[in-house]
Structure 1
Amino acid sequence: MTGKRTNFLLFVTDQQRADHIGAYGNGVVATPNLDALAARGWRFGNAHVATPICMPNRASLMTGRYPSAHGARHNGIPLSLTSNTFVDTLRRAGYRTTLVGKAHLQNMTDIPPSWPVDPACRLPAEARSAPPGRYDQENRNKWLTDDAHGLDYPFYGFEQVDLVDDHSDLVHGDYRRWLRRCHPGAETLIGPEHALPAPEYELTRIHQAWRTRLPEELYPTTYIAERTIEQLRSSAGRGEPFFLQCSFPDPHHPFTPPGRFWDMYRPEDMPLPPSFHAPGEPPPHVRWLHEQRDRGTAVRHTPALFACTEREAREAIALNYGAISHIDEQIGRVLAELRALGLEDDTVVIFTSDHGDYLGEHQLLLKGPIHYRGLTRVPLIWSEPRCAGGGVVEDALLSTIDLATSILDRAGVPRYNGMQGVDLSSWMHPGRVPEAREALMIEEEGQRVILGFQSRIRCRTLLSEGWRMTVYDGAPWGELYDLASDPIEACNRWDDAGARTVRARMMERLCRSMLEHVDTSPYPDALA
């Protein structure tokens, strides 16, 4: 290592499964740049989200805290502007902090959280307003209609942001302003109403995919890579270290990979997940989705999960792979520039995603409050500068909350109060005792009443001893899977007399984990 302070380049994708990368064993999708990054770094095979929902998990990444601790429990609840983030901690320690791409720490729409407040209850004054600050900074309508609308800096610690929020070719933020300014008329190419014909794709009929007319060079993924490269060039030669986050909105649905990436993979060539035709009785909420599909009453055109057909699953996988290969190509360009600028030997490079997607697993598409591992397990690659070779850590239970802790520890910057993660870099240094977990908790707080439940879904999952257990608030049933003998989570052992001891032990560990992650300090994590 040199005497310089370490830089950090963090890549984040949106809604990408861990097993949709070549380095994680996928033999179909082409991800040569991510595979090379994993080969010279560390690939963690059992990393999971703090919650499989975009806004709260991104807030967990920023704070190193569970949603129940930082308060942004589900989409629509912004992360408090008074929250401590590891990015702001780096900034105050002398780092140049920049975000290019998706933030989603505040609500992007005008739709309030849908779970109603009881009108008979009177809210105290402090509950009627958010903490001080602007919570409309990522609002889509304001970005599209008011050229003066923007972010207040530092934005959760970022000194500069090139914002690219939302999904598909319909993203907003600085990208849309660039498109209007530099490519007049290009906005008429975006959206399903302007898409190229693709009648052979069933997903286009329900607006879960469309063949964008935007060329590859104008697509958001390419723009984000270009702006990231410009930020690297701006950082080169400066005396200050940098933290640069490159955050892609893809491969999240709707699926709109541009140009050659649309048909890079043929749906008919895509293998279905092993669980698609798994035998046995699915749990009640999955069965409810299957019944809705079979009766022809499923809602399939919204962002909510639904039960899919074989053809829909194969199309989604093919288009998802196309988007991932596009991202991989752009990451390769960024990493090539990092080398060309002479920054590679002083920069930690990290790759992860905010959550996964079912993509045909158990005949489901998109995401929701059903904690199959395709949804909760995310890629996590950490590449150290001047590292002759990395390794593979398959069994360590790691979480999104660990990244904040790990980056601060690697930077030599003290942690702040309230952080709940462990330092994953302890796995990378011989002689150090890893901060191992016996169990890992995943939270979920739902907004809506769905899947046959009588109230909004609230659930907690525990991973421990090679098992996965999920309990639902108000439900007399749960889920319990032996992942060693049943890796596709097809046989629910919740009511199995032979698994009663395991279930009891898992319940005790879940209780202890929930207690462990409640704030105990009298001092807040927030800034003074």
Structure 2
Amino acid sequence: MTKKPNILYIMADQHRADYLACAGHPTLKTPNLDRLAAQGVRFSQAYVQAPVCGGSRMCSYTGRYAFSHGAYYNNYPLRIDEKTIGDYLRPEGYRVALVGKTHMRPDMETCERLGLDPESADGVLMRQCGFEPVERDDGLHPDQLVDPNLAYNRYLKEQGYEGDNPWHEYANAAEGENGELLSGWFLRNARRPARVKEEHSETAYMTDRAMDFIRETPDRPWCLHLSYIKPHWPYMAPAPYHSMYGPEDILEANRTHDEKADCNPVLAAFMQHEESLNFSKEEVRKTVIPTYMGLISQLDHHLGRMRRFLEEIGQAENTIILYTSDHGDYLGDHWLGEKDLFHDEIMQVPMIVYDPRPQANETRGRTIDDFVEAIDLAPSFLDWSGGEAQPHRLEGRSIAPLLQDRKPDDWRSAVFADSCFALRDARKDLGLEPDGARAFMVRTSHWKYMRFENQPPVLYDLQNDPKELKDLGGSNAHAGVRAEMDGLLFDWMRKRKLRTTVSDAELERRTGGAKSRGIYFGVW
């Protein structure tokens, strides 16, 4: 590979790290992801920096912690001055595009204040998180929010699916015994097949659109963010994937009754959310999780299609493939549903990287256990593109040395995350003001520490309690550990990259140069 590599950046939505055959799941079938890991590298300790879609993705796209960019949660606008992957790669000659989801809300208030036309070329990039939107689709289209111009709905209508919103009525709905519509928004319908044919489903369609983009970009390096909507809810899979797994194939829930009996107030409040109460029921888990697994196997199938396509058009040997997720899914573990908190079921994600270049040969087939963070992706892409590093702004680190068996001596020994749950009912139930719903996490190889404003902390001893079942946040014997974890968080906060407009190299150039510019201060 002598020219700049293409980068296929694949993200699934809500795919847990332990739901891969190559990660040890005993019944789930993921042959194409397993093959990708066998030919590349699987990172077993990959962590996201926020426990929800929007916040996590903004960290991945900017290479910065939520603490720095401020877009902690879904629909928190990303500031217009934040650079994203496209801003780093376009100057290197790349076409940087999106097919699928970003969950990004643009900073329209600042856009209007500055007089930036949102329909201009720069305005479109600002609205689409720095990506050229080949097809933006966040996969949330209930009848009251449906976009009449949604491309996927137009496509479904062209295939003969009738109605105003075939996304809901076919792709995310089933049919009852008497022909009635059964919405995928209701968990009880998850075991039924979606009304859409598999080849017309969201996962198949987005794969096709990604292939269209690649065909249209034959003579220029590209970075394509293929961002799948599934296995995120609505948990609705087309045949045959709806019935590929049964209740006998699911993992036992990771929870104990002691967790509920002696529970941190924040966790207890989230346990009272409707999704948590429902996923605490075995009937719900046995209905939903087999479909969740089927959606992952369907996605795996289409990744196999994509790889065969790259081989057929001669781009396989010039394309780095990275597969990951934005967060996991509780699925009833810890008596919780959805996400929002910091257990490994949410924060740990799959990350598989296949670099076809010879310099990555040393690590092929390895599982690397060093900590990596989602904010490492943007600096890695910049590194692969041949661009100059920007350490004054990017808070992640390139993983390229790990792929080449050249781990730096100062590689991280902890991972960090922060979030805001001001929009959740738990905040009101706890009597907190919006500014009081801040949450932080630090995880080392030994400890997991969650710190909440105005609420007790959570502490897990991962060496003796790897499943995070016994909270030591109130243990007198572990006060010293909690103080140490607070120290790690304070040290992390002090090191955020907030001087983003002046590079380190510029400061080095200007240091001590006042006299040369005719500025004399304190001279006798």
**TM-score, normalization: structure 1?**
0.83
Moved more, 126-135 or 26-35: 126-135
Matches within 5 A, 1:393-472: 393-416=367-390, 417-433=392-408, 436-448=411-423, 450-451=425-426, 452-455=429-432, 456=434, 457-472=437-452
Residues 134-183 of structure 1: CA deviation (Å, up to 9, x unaligned): 7799xxxxxxxxxxxxx825743323421222248988632223333454
Question: Which residue number corresponds to residue 220 of structure 1?
Answer: 202
Matches within 5 A, 1:122-161: 133=116, 152-153=124-125, 155-161=128-134
1:421 deviates by 0.4
Task: Sort the Cα spacing of 1:449 and 1:265 in 2 relative to 1 into closer, same or farther, 3 A.
Answer: closer
Query: Is there any run of 5+ residues in structure 1 with no aligned partner, and where?
Result: 113-125, 138-150, 293-297
Question: Which residue number corresponds to residue 185 of structure 1?
Answer: 162
Residues 309-329 of structure 1: CA deviation (Å, up to 9, x unaligned): 112122221111011111111
Q: Give me the whole-angstrom Cα distance separating, in 2, the residues matched to 1:446 and 1:265.
A: 34
Query: Is there any run of 5+ residues in structure 2 with no aligned partner, and where?
Result: 505-524
Q: Is the 8 A contact 2:14 2:325 kept in 1?
A: yes
Question: Which residue number corresponds to residue 264 of structure 1?
Answer: 244
One of 467, 473, 477 as aligned partner of 1:494 = 473
Q: Give me the whole-angstrom Cα distance separating, in 2, the residues matched to 1:478 and 1:289.
A: 15
1:485 deviates by 1.1
Task: Sort the Cα spacing of 1:520 and 1:204 in 2 relative to 1 into closer, same or farther, 3 A.
Answer: closer
Aligned partner letter, 1:329 = H
1:392 deviates by 3.8
Query: In the comparison of the two structures, how many residue pairs are matched?
Result: 482
**TM-score, normalization: structure 2?**
0.83
Task: Sort the Cα spacing of 1:41 and 1:479 in 2 relative to 1 into closer, same or farther, 3 A.
Answer: same
Moved more, 431-440 or 313-322: 431-440
Q: Is the 8 A contact 2:31 2:300 kept in 1?
A: yes
Q: Give me the whole-angstrom Cα distance separating, in 2, the residues matched to 1:364 and 1:180.
A: 38
1:513 correspondence with 2:492? yes
Question: Which residue number corresponds to residue 292 of structure 2?
Answer: 320
Question: Which residue number corresponds to residue 57 of structure 1?
Answer: 56
Aligned partner letter, 1:285 = V
More helix by share: 2
One of 342, 359, 373 as aligned partner of 1:371 = 342
Secondary structure of the 2:67 match is helix
Residues 243-292 of structure 1: CA deviation (Å, up to 9, x unaligned): 111110110112011121112111354232333566663323333455x4
Aligned partner letter, 1:229 = M
Question: Which residue number corresponds to residue 234 of structure 1?
Answer: 216
Percent identity over the alignment is: 29
Q: Give me the whole-angstrom Cα distance separating, in 2, the residues matched to 1:397 and 1:67.
A: 18
Aligned partner letter, 1:443 = D
Task: Sort the Cα spacing of 1:431 and 1:211 in 2 relative to 1 into closer, same or farther, 3 A.
Answer: closer
1:275 correspondence with 2:255? yes
Question: Which residue number corresponds to residue 141 of structure 1?
Answer: none
Aligned partner letter, 1:94 = G
Aligned partner letter, 1:265 = Y
Residues 214-243 of structure 1: CA deviation (Å, up to 9, x unaligned): 11111111000111122222233x1x2111
Question: Which residue number corresponds to residue 463 of structure 2?
Answer: 484
1:90 deviates by 0.9
1:309 correspondence with 2:281? yes
Task: Sort the Cα spacing of 1:398 and 1:65 in 2 relative to 1 into closer, same or farther, 3 A.
Answer: same
Q: Give me the whole-angstrom Cα distance separating, in 1, the residues matched to 2:91 and 2:473.
A: 49
Q: Give me the whole-angstrom Cα distance separating, in 1, the residues matched to 2:2 and 2:438.
A: 48
1:174 correspondence with 2:146? no
Secondary structure of the 2:230 match is strand
Q: Give me the whole-angstrom Cα distance separating, in 2, the residues matched to 1:131 and 1:60.
A: 25
Q: Is the 8 A contact 1:358 1:364 kept in 2?
A: yes
Residues 350-398 of structure 1: CA deviation (Å, up to 9, x unaligned): 0011111101211222112x21110111111111114555244553222
Q: Give me the whole-angstrom Cα distance separating, in 2, the residues matched to 1:73 and 1:96.
A: 28
Task: Sort the Cα spacing of 1:498 and 1:392 in 2 relative to 1 into closer, same or farther, 3 A.
Answer: farther
Task: Sort the Cα spacing of 1:466 and 1:181 in 2 relative to 1 into closer, same or farther, 3 A.
Answer: same
Secondary structure of the 2:64 match is coil
Task: Sort the Cα spacing of 1:93 and 1:377 in 2 relative to 1 into closer, same or farther, 3 A.
Answer: same
Question: Which residue number corresponds to residue 148 of structure 1?
Answer: none
